[in-house]
Structure 1
Amino acid sequence: MQNKPCLLLFLVLILSCFIAQILGNKQSQALARLYKSKLKEGAGINTSQFEAILHANGAKIHPQEGLKEKNRIDSLPGQPHVNFSQYGGYVTVDKEAGRALFLLLFC
């Protein structure tokens, strides 16, 4: 009598695993069809050249001379010697709100 709830729970678990596997296969097949349709030549995807529009306010662009070497990082704590240059620094996103991002670049 006590084994019936455990058996029922086990069967529900096994059934849910099968359902998840079947639905996962359907999703992956749909994604594969989407990728293949985009790769076809007559897919209707606009591949013409476009002209980028610069939306930069000249008053907010500050001089950049000398900042590259100022932001260069020789090594990070605990990091072994590396054969590439590392740069880090803050980029102001919204000066009024005091928001900035810290970027770490590897070249």
Structure 2
Amino acid sequence: MREGYVKVIGLDLARLNLEDVERFAESLERFLYEELERRGLVKLDIQIGIDVRIQEVLLVTVDLTINSPVPIGPEVLAQFDEAVDKALARFEEYLSSSYSSRGCEPGTS
């Protein structure tokens, strides 16, 4: 599984408040769970941790812990990466549609 990922999407951070940040974390966790569920990966013992912070930028950390008594194969790990990618893409669209500094339409950046 991937260790790090950075993307610039141009948000107006001045418009954000604590409630927004909490809503971001809840939304991303829901998106990720839905993507894992679509791939049948919620049958595994997994814990999802989402941390969203505003500093000079919006920092989003996804911590996905998988507990398994046997090694998890690369094809399953690739499915987890795909689920995270899809959830982050949905999250980016959600952010861009409401908080873009350029007034972007959903799906653009």
TM-score class, shorter-chain normalisation, is under 0.3
Taking structure 1 as the reference length, what is the TM-score of the superposition?
0.26
User: In proportion to residue count, which structure has more helix?
Assistant: 2
For CA contacts below 8 A with separation 6 or more, give which structure has more relative contact order.
2
